[in-house]
Structure 1
Amino acid sequence: MSPPPGWYPDPSAPHLQRWWDGTAWTEHWSAPGTPGQPPSGGGGSGRSKVVALTAAGAVLVAAIVTGAVYLGRDDGGGADVQTVPNPVTSSAAPTTEGPSPSASTSEPSADDPAVVVDQLNGITLPLLDGWVRPQYVTEDDVVMTTDGTYDCPGDSGVCRHGLVISRTVTENDESSPKSLATQDISDAADAAYDRDLVGRRPFGGIESHQQVKSGQIAVAGRAGYFVRWRVRTAKGPGGYVESLAFPSSVGTESPVIVRFVFDAGEDGPPLADMDRITKGIRSVDDAATGGGVGSSIGPTDSP
């Protein structure tokens, strides 16, 4: 029997609660400790919940007994033991009959957030359409990528049309967001479009760059600064790189750098996604209330 409908830890993001409708995961999330009301049509009646909980308890007892029988066997049969998920009493999220979590959804709303979490830096970032959590990525600190890959136009390798990277600044005594972003943008561009970690040139190297935008901006309620470059490469359409710096809202409030790498051309992600992701960055402490949304406080365009 499947676990009863309710809020349980999300298998892909245990720090968030996700609604299980009794047979499958839904697209409803909530912060732990403050779960929202059952989604429309997903809660069931009070009597059905009691019956479901009772049945789930019986399943748990049966699973424990069955597990004890298997553990007591020594007949050399090599039978595989499978546990029955019971999210009512376990921290593990239910997986029986449940599909894998959706990798990409629309921009999050207050009652249905789709986010990736950078626990170290204390922020969440919205997972927009066309973006997924990183898989098989060699770069450090990548928090999301565009869906799919393609053959790099330069040296052999696999490239992605978009990356978002979040890291803590640890090797720089500078604390000014403007100075940090201004110093980081060159390294960000080189790492994205000049040479990779093993010295290859996936895009044939950078031929030129132009600063297209920079300025102050509020991120998760903190004063930050960003610098955006248009990079032209020897092969391929080149792309856009942005360095966004702001202080963390947790711990020692160490500076955080979020890098955006977007291929140019029709295959690249919409450039507006940089702004949408930035505006959707929140402190992990504010995820449940919707507070801390980044908003512009006077960005300036550069020639």
Structure 2
Amino acid sequence: MTPPGWHPDPGHSGIGPAQERWWDGTRWTDQLRVPPATVRRRRMRVGAGITAGVVLLAAVGGGAFLLGQDSGGRTDGATAGPAPTGPSSGPSSGAPGGPGAPEDGEEGGGQAPDQKMPPTEEGYATDLASGISLPVPKGWTGSSGVVGAGLTTGEYPCPGDAGQKCVRGGVFSAPAAALDLKAATAEEAAKKDIAVNAAESYGEAIYEGITSHRTLKSEAVTVAGQKGYLVRWEVVTKKGDDGYVESLAFPSPTAKGQLVVIRSGFDINDKAPKLSVLEDIKKGIKAASGAGAGSVGSGGNA
């Protein structure tokens, strides 16, 4: 008898990345996940780097400058806006370890050959590995990915480098493991991640660094039916707009034992979205459509 644990999903149709299903010792459950080794292998090594070769960003806050985006990962729902276009190369894109840089033993970066884009739901951006979907506000651009999903709005020339493109608001998700964030609880993950989020969103590369910050929120929250934790800072930069950054962590609603991290950043500017939009996004986060679904044998041996 096979002991309880994660095993290759016997119901995998061959569409999308191979997944693992939880065997409780007597039957297959509805819990699915992308194997952690796959998540780590597809990680980008750039700072806050949202994972997978779909949403390629050097940072994730309101000041995140875009390095590129695969239009195949765009959410083309009724509420999604036009996809922003980033330069073909940027401060990190051509450097070792930049977006798309191969991990050890790989021939190339981006999406693995056997990883197809997840099915998209109109009006949502889906992070397949995390098992969640983010609602795309009207006028925003949503990008879905096998590992990671993102929302952006308000493209403009970056204050420290007009040749790069920044955004007024950004919200991005990834499994904590893909960010090398080791934490036992959602609270620990959020508190560890906020400083990294702030530095990558409004740090040296474009804003010449952060001179100070103050904590606006540090509290328990419920997201997608899961008990999580968020930390929100207001940061003061040396150059350009100041900003709000937030790190939110909670257990995946579909992958047992996996923490999800959502990094957000909004410029403090009349042209930037209000924080009420961020609250609406959080309220609309849900388990990805179809995650954990699919009929396989309810009993028998693994």
Moved more, 225-234 or 166-175: 166-175
Moved more, 113-122 or 183-192: 113-122
- Letter of the 1:152 counterpart: C
2:172 pairs, out of 165, 177, 184, with 165
Distance 1:203 1:246 in 2: 30
Q: Is the 8 A contact 2:79 2:123 kept in 1?
A: no
The equivalent of 2:278 in structure 1 is 274
Q: Secondary structure at the match of 1:180?
A: helix
* Residue-by-residue CA offset, 1:154-210 (whole Å, 9 max, x unaligned): 234211111111011113442211111001000000010003xxxxx2122211111
- Letter of the 1:104 counterpart: A
Identical counterparts, % of pairs: 36
The equivalent of 1:253 in structure 2 is 257
Q: CA deviation at 1:275?
A: 0.9
* Residue-by-residue CA offset, 1:16-51 (whole Å, 9 max, x unaligned): xxxxxxxxxxxxxxxxxxxxxxxxxxxxxxxxxxxx
Q: Secondary structure at the match of 2:183?
A: coil
1:241 pairs, out of 220, 245, 261, with 245
Q: CA deviation at 1:104?
A: 2.2
Q: How does 1:128-207 map to 2 (within 5 A)?
A: 128-134=137-143, 141-146=148-153, 148-156=154-162, 157-170=164-177, 171-195=180-204, 201-207=205-211
Distance 2:253 2:287 in 1: 6
The equivalent of 1:121 in structure 2 is 130
Q: CA deviation at 1:115?
A: 1.1
Q: Secondary structure at the match of 2:171?
A: strand
Distance 1:142 1:149 in 2: 18
- Letter of the 1:143 counterpart: G
- Structure 1, unpaired ranges of 5+: 1-13, 16-99, 106-111, 196-200, 288-303
Q: CA deviation at 1:130?
A: 2.7
- Letter of the 1:274 counterpart: L
Distance 1:256 1:212 in 2: 22
* Residue-by-residue CA offset, 1:258-300 (whole Å, 9 max, x unaligned): 011111110111111111111111112589xxxxxxxxxxxxx
- Letter of the 2:197 counterpart: A
Q: Is the 8 A contact 1:124 1:284 kept in 2?
A: yes
Which structure has more relative contact order (CA 8 Å, sep 6+)? It is: 2
| Residue 264, structure 1, aligned to residue 268, structure 2 | yes
- Letter of the 2:241 counterpart: P
Distance 1:247 1:234 in 2: 35
Task: Give the CA RMSD over aligned residues.
Answer: 2.6
Across the two proteins, how many residue pairs are aligned to each other? 174
| Residue 229, structure 1, aligned to residue 233, structure 2 | yes
Q: CA deviation at 1:216?
A: 0.6
Q: Is the 8 A contact 1:103 1:133 kept in 2?
A: no
Distance 1:284 1:150 in 2: 31
Distance 2:236 2:143 in 1: 25
Distance 2:214 2:140 in 1: 26
* Residue-by-residue CA offset, 1:231-259 (whole Å, 9 max, x unaligned): 11111221100000001122333101001
Q: Secondary structure at the match of 1:269?
A: coil
* Residue-by-residue CA offset, 1:49-70 (whole Å, 9 max, x unaligned): xxxxxxxxxxxxxxxxxxxxxx
The equivalent of 1:296 in structure 2 is none
Query: In the superposition, relative to structure 1, how do residues 249 and 101 fare at CA in structure 2: closer, same or farther (>3 Å)?
Result: closer
Q: Is the 8 A contact 1:155 1:203 kept in 2?
A: no
Moved more, 161-170 or 185-194: 161-170
Q: Secondary structure at the match of 1:261?
A: strand
Q: Is the 8 A contact 1:161 1:263 kept in 2?
A: yes
Query: TM-score, normalised to structure 2's length?
Result: 0.53
Q: CA deviation at 1:144?
A: 1.2
Larger Rg: 1
- Structure 2, unpaired ranges of 5+: 1-14, 17-75, 82-120, 292-302
